[in-house]
């Protein structure tokens, strides 16, 4: 069932999870920015290789565990590998909807525990896989934005597009932003509310001040995870782990090709193949404020309670407060996939963007970007989304 996303504010109920100092800012958004693209391509062979490697590692682990310990849930990276995705393709704090990602069958477990209960479990898992979104690979990459104007003020953004996902719930195959960092809490909150975009906070450090000019000098950008704590502590610009760094050049090289003209973006996008449309589709975002399984949004691994439960509860309450301050809102209404087709105006030209540090967010390996890259001075517009109710929704 499809329905249009309301553009106006839904009222007081949605304001309960607003971070301090943040206002609800519904779509459409029109922004102005400079951006750089670090493209990559994930082939079907690469997906198959990742899945095969995950089965080998799982079989090795099960050989080392006794039968009693075999029920332990697999790690986030193992689950991503079953889907053919690189480690860290999703933010470690982002809990995935049960139908957001189809995981390949773990054949080793089926052979080791072939019984009636296991058969029923595998049958249920097969139904979930059939209904879940499947990673198809193809075009993807990192996109760096430096917004000089937006409805929530200037901010920086680093996007990771894993590639194409086939979604039975949404009824389409579209590109998906699986991880994204921004420098603004208002962007985090409203991006999650408006379009199901899984935004998180980060600190951006530029060697040059913001300047909207095509003749800008070579500059360097570095992106850091924020230090945990309250929003006030994060605003003190305390830098944590560095997750991305790049050197940005305004031309392909210092000695040639500088004469190449900039192209109007509508003309530039006219040459994009029809199978590579710019539509984005995002699954529902779950509540990030409680401890749950990394995939499926369950209520933990079911471990036994102990005297440490009190301190654990305090830690969870602290994390709940931090999550709200960071703007980590869940989708409303629940169980809704959101599709949006942003439009662009402005100019684009070939440029060079060298990755100094390019890693998956979880610290795992990452696909190398293709060269050359492209630099854009553009005005993107994000309209209101189209909502599709997923399986099990009302």
Question: How high is the pLDDT of residue 275?
Answer: 46
Q: Which residue is associated with the tokens 């999550």?
A: 323
Closest by Cα among 175, 101, 166 to 140: 175
* Angstrom distance (rounded) from CA 117 to CA 262: 62
Question: How high is the pLDDT of residue 281?
Answer: 95
Task: Compute the average pLDDT of residues 134-149.
Answer: 92
Task: Compute the average pLDDT of residues 111-126.
Answer: 62
- Architecture in CATH for domain 2-7+25-42+89-95+138-294+310-389: Beta Barrel (2.40)
DSSP 339-383: EE--EEEEEEEEEEEEEEEE--TTS---PPPPSSEEEEEEEEEE-
**pLDDT of 51 higher than 60:** yes
Question: How high is the pLDDT of residue 65?
Answer: 59
Looking at every residue in the chain, the average pLDDT score rounds to: 74
What pLDDT, in 10s, does the model give residues 255-278? 455 555 556 666 555 555 544 567
Residue 54 and residue 82 in contact, taking contact as beta carbons nearer than 8 Å = yes
Question: How high is the pLDDT of residue 235?
Answer: 52
Task: Compute the average pLDDT of residues 161-176.
Answer: 92
Residues 6+ apart with CB under 8 A from 224: 202, 203, 205, 239, 240, 241, 242, 243
**pLDDT of 30 higher than 50:** yes
Least confident of 86-100, 252-266, 339-353: 252-266
**pLDDT of 217 higher than 80:** no
Least confident of 159-163, 201-205, 245-249: 245-249
Task: Compute the average pLDDT of residues 123-134.
Answer: 80
Task: Compute the average pLDDT of residues 282-286.
Answer: 94
C-alpha pair distances (Å), 47 with each of 53, 111, 112, 119:
10, 23, 25, 26
For residue 95 the two structure tokens come to 């809990």
Q: Is pLDDT larger for residue 258 or for residue 364?
A: 258
Least confident of 32-46, 118-132, 312-326: 312-326
Q: Is pLDDT larger for residue 139 or for residue 262?
A: 139
Least confident of 79-83, 128-132, 186-190, 272-276: 272-276
């Amino acid at each position: 069932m499809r329905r249009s996303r309301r553009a106006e504010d839904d009222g007081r109920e949605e304001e309960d999870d607003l971070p301090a100092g943040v206002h609800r800012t519904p779509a459409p958004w029109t922004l102005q920015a400079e951006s750089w693209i670090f493209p990559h391509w994930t082939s079907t062979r690469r997906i198959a290789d990742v899945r095969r490697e995950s089965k080998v590692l799982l079989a090795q682990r099960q050989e080392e565990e006794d039968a009693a310990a075999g029920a332990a849930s697999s790690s986030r990276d193992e689950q991503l590998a079953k889907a053919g995705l690189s480690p860290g393709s999703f933010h470690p704090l982002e809990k995935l909807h049960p139908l957001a990602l189809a995981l390949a069958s773990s054949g080793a477990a089926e052979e080791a525990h072939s019984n009636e209960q296991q058969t029923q479990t595998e049958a249920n898992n097969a139904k979930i896989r059939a209904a879940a979104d499947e990673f198809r690979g193809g075009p993807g990459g990192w996109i760096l934005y430096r917004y000089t104007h937006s409805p929530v003020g200037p901010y920086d953004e680093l996007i990771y597009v894993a590639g194409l996902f086939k979604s039975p719930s949404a009824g389409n195959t579209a590109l998906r932003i699986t991880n994204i960092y921004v420098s603004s809490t208002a962007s985090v909150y409203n991006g999650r509310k408006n379009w199901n975009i899984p935004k998180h906070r980060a600190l951006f450090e530029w060697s040059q001040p913001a300047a909207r000019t095509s003749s800008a000098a070579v500059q360097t950008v570095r992106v850091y995870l924020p230090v945990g704590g309250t929003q006030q502590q994060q605003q003190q610009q305390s830098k944590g782990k560095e997750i991305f760094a790049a050197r940005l050049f305004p031309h392909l090289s210092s000695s040639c090709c500088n004469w190449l003209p900039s192209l109007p973006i509508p003309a530039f996008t006219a040459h994009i193949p029809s199978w590579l449309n710019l539509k984005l589709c995002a699954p529902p975002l779950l509540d990030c404020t409680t401890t749950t399984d990394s995939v499926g949004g369950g209520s933990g691994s079911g471990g036994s309670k102990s005297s440490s439960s009190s301190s654990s509860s305090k830690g969870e309450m602290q994390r709940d407060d931090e999550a709200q301050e960071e703007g980590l809102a869940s989708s409303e209404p629940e169980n809704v996939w959101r599709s949006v087709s942003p439009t662009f105006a402005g100019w684009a030209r070939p440029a060079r963007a060298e990755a100094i540090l390019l890693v998956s967010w979880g610290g795992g390996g990452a696909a190398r970007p293709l060269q050359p890259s492209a630099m854009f001075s553009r005005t993107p517009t994000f309209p209101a989304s189209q909502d599709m109710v997923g399986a099990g929704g009302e």
